[in-house]
Structure 1
């Protein structure tokens, strides 16, 4: 099992519980989606998995990566895992890039951080191949561009390229489709699906059940708790909980 989260509870120092007894697992070649409205706690769970929560939070439970509890790992060990084996895609691609550095330089730095022995020629080839894998062919222009010169959809793909460049085993995508239009959203989900077919595990967090429809399994989260879990077919065709039915009805209304 690539990732196994057991009884994860996240509490603010004030005593407020943000997430309670969250358990799920995901293996290679699988896409798991956590779905819930804003404030459900899904992004906080994401950040706990990625080790990104501040000291204002306390965490109990287990976050097992290939059997190793990340909550008990040393800082040095976590630095070797995050960004290399487990990578994170943020909601807004504009906040993921340094506006004062060209895209090519940023991708090279991302790769070099975890592969310091790589040669310049190998580095440039890896960057180019990764961008082309994501359907980005105008390489010369992209690599020389600053982030604000590129579209949101293109930046989203480049952000995925930055995550993929070190060939991770797990990709955590937090509201990765929110900042892009419907056409780019469909293309992005198809791309993530292709990555799964190559053996990667993807944890896809979203408020939009439509975006989650390409996942293998869906977890429904509300008010800090998992309220329903099942295959995508089960969630869409045989929902059990009223909150799940509410999310499905919201999708139906938006399509009209």
Structure 2
């Protein structure tokens, strides 16, 4: 049985032929989570954007990206949106800036749901959204929908973005640094939501992060990237215990944090 997401020899280069990512390969089944980890500037987000089809015009991807058996690399944005628009969801970095500060959470999400599900009335969108927020452990979803983004914490806004996934039930989610601006408690809660999400919907999830410690509980596989190259691929334990220098550095950092914070 073939994997749901299959990436083979994916490379991204600029119009001046500078490589930003070189020969990345991995496979991911439905109900599995892959963490793409590495330091800032190493190529994590470029890799995710290439898979999602969001590279700017001055960047070019080559290789193969197959989702559900169909080749999607270099497909035009309009053709990709028509075929996969409701099946793929991108959760952008920094939830605090992902929402319009001048509109309530409810106005924004309901409008977006209505644009994707044209047969849904505003009332139905609100009912489905309230149910999704309740599943994400909001005790009073109606009050959340009346809030402006500035009235919610970063962790709460991340969970509001995750409510899209419960409403639209995509087959693939790519989350860019979903825990980067969160405290430890909020970070753990968001990761727990990803675990529940993939269990309930059997969604394939790709998490882009620099923090393996945060996302390891939700991850079935890890892809370690450094300086535009794939360094290691395996389970979180395999990647952390790999003999390459970068993995050893991460392990030392993890052990120091464990010693310092318990």
With the shorter chain as reference, the TM-score category is: over 0.9
RMSD: 1.5
User: In terms of mean alpha carbon deviation, does 246-255 or 60-69 score higher?
Assistant: 246-255
Matching residue within 48, 53, 67 for 1:51: 53
Deviation at 1:226, TM superposition (A): 0.8
Partner deviation per Cα, 1:138-169 (whole Å, 9 max, x = no partner): 22221111111111111111011134321101
Deviation at 1:83, TM superposition (A): 4.9
Partner deviation per Cα, 1:86-109 (whole Å, 9 max, x = no partner): 101112002211111111011112
TM-score by length of 2: 0.92
Q: Per the alignment, in what secondary structure is the counterpart of residue 212 of structure 2?
A: coil
Contact 1:89 1:159 in 2 (8 A): yes
Unaligned runs of 5+ in 2: none
Q: Per the alignment, in what secondary structure is the counterpart of residue 165 of structure 1?
A: helix
Q: Per the alignment, in what secondary structure is the counterpart of residue 118 of structure 1?
A: coil
Matching residue within 158, 161, 165 for 2:160: 158
Unaligned runs of 5+ in 1: none
Matching residue within 241, 249, 252 for 2:252: 249
The alpha-carbon distance between structure 1 residues 244 and 28, as it changes in their structure 2 partners (threshold 3 A), is same
Residue number in structure 1 paired with 2:29: 27
Deviation at 1:75, TM superposition (A): 3.3
The alpha-carbon distance between structure 1 residues 74 and 55, as it changes in their structure 2 partners (threshold 3 A), is closer
Q: Per the alignment, in what secondary structure is the counterpart of residue 179 of structure 2?
A: coil
Partner deviation per Cα, 1:163-207 (whole Å, 9 max, x = no partner): 432110111111110011001111111111111222111111111
Partner Cα distance (1:140, 1:224) in 2: 45
Residue number in structure 1 paired with 2:184: 182
Partner Cα distance (2:78, 2:154) in 1: 34
Deviation at 1:77, TM superposition (A): 2.9
Residue-pair matches, total: 255
